[in-house]
Amino acid sequence: MNSSATNETGNMVTIPYIKAKDSLFVEQQSDTTEVTSVLHHGDRYAVASLFFIIMSAGLFGNGLVVFAVILSKKLRCVTYAFVVALSIADLFTMLNIPWAMVAILSTDGWPLPDWICSSCAFAMITCIGFSISTMACIAVNRLILFTVSRVTYEELFTPIKTTLIIFLCAIINLAVASPPILFDFGKLGYDKRFSSCTWDKTHPMTQTYELFVILVQYPIPLLVCISCYAKLFLILKRQAKKLLSKSDSSSSTDSANLRRMLTRRQVEVTKSMFYILCTFILCTAPFAVVMVVNSPGRLGPYTGCILLLNGAINPLIYAVKLPSLKQEMKCVLLCQLSKIGRSNSGK
């Protein structure tokens, strides 16, 4: 539709007329950039396959840990409370992977109701964060066990206090995942770039929220793990030197046996700490780095696979390294349920 007006010379001119709502629509359309996935078809199938392998291993390993503790009365103690909490968190993480597989294989966007994708993102952020926090609690627990008396240790880690610590870890990570829901600080949902149920990049605050999650859930537990295990190694090394100095008055045979025992113990402790720290760093660092840099490209989903892998191999590190739990898991695997709880292996 056109309208007429008079110019300075008195002549009539025709002016194009555009409706306000049409003008607004054109302006909004020009400012909106269509977000497309950076993944190729090969990436989708590769990531989905990795998801399936990680899920299968994680469900089996963590389920085995929980099942062994439930069946064994001697494992129902404070020592294994954090290990079980870690396994349960990893189990819930594994149970959310099927939704991640649906997202990665859908080339036309999220095919199911949006609340399912948002709930999956909420659960993933909470469970992965809780898993990392629990690993830090295990590091603190191991350090205190070797640095204080047995009486003091039992006073610090009573069943009630241990439950409160685990509950606090859960509350903290629930709080980290809640801002997009409570305060519109970012948005959980389908990410078109990586075809994943994480956070919706179209929200203006999503990038800030993403950085917030990484900074809260990653550096602090990492520093706790490194400092605790490093201090524990130094303490055990000093104790070994003291024991060796006291053994000088004993026979040469006894001294040699003691040296072999201490050497073997130090090697095992060193290996355990090496596996724990390296696995923790290798599995979480790639995802944290690419999220902070905010330009992961096609590497994003693969670093997510590495992050989830941490939950699948935790049973090998935290359970197999504990002889009592290792023995009970072996009984469960061999279907020797009558032998559960009868082994006398130490912690």
Question: Mind listing the pLDDT tens digit for each residue in 146-156?
Answer: 888 888 988 88
Alpha-carbon 225 to chain mean position: 14
> Angle, to 10 degrees, between the axis of helix 206-217 and the axis of helix 159-177?
160
User: Which pTM does this prediction carry?
Assistant: 0.77
Whether domain 41-239+258-338 has CATH 2.60.15.10: the reply is no
Question: What is the predicted pLDDT for the residue at 130?
Answer: 92
Q: Give bridge partners of residue 204 from the DSSP assignment.
A: none
Candidates 177, 68, 138; CA nearest to 314 is 138
Tokens read off for 87:
């396994």
Q: Say yes or no to pLDDT of 163 above 80.
A: yes
Predicted pLDDT at 272? 66
Average pLDDT over residues 189-199: 86
For residue 104, give both structure tokens. 């990665």
Please give the average per-residue pLDDT across 158-162, as a whole number: 90
Q: Determine what percent of the chain is predicted with pLDDT higher than 90.
A: 20
Share of the chain above pLDDT 70, in %: 76
Residue spans per domain, the chain: 41-239+258-338
Question: Rounded to whole angstroms, how far apart are CA atoms 64 and 285?
Answer: 27
Question: Helix/strand/coil (H, E, C) string of 59-126?
Answer: HHHHHHHHHHHHHCHHHCCHHHHHHHHHHHHHHHHHHCHHHHHHHHHCCCCCCCCHHHHHHHHHHHHH
pLDDT above 50: residue 179? yes
pLDDT bucket at 280, cuts 50 / 70 / 90: confident
Helix (H, G, I), strand (E, B) or coil at 154: helix
Q: Which of 18, 26, 54 is nearest to 310 (CA)?
A: 54
* 169-173, 202-206, 311-315, 342-346: segment of lowest average pLDDT: 342-346
41-71 and 81-95 helices cross at what angle (nearest 10)?
A: 150
Q: What are phi and psi of 198, to 5 degrees?
A: -135, -85
Mean pLDDT of 92-96: 92
Check pLDDT > 90 for residue 172.
yes
| Comparison of pLDDT for 298 and 271, the residue scoring more | 298
Instruction: Decide: helix, strand or coil at residue 346.
Output: coil
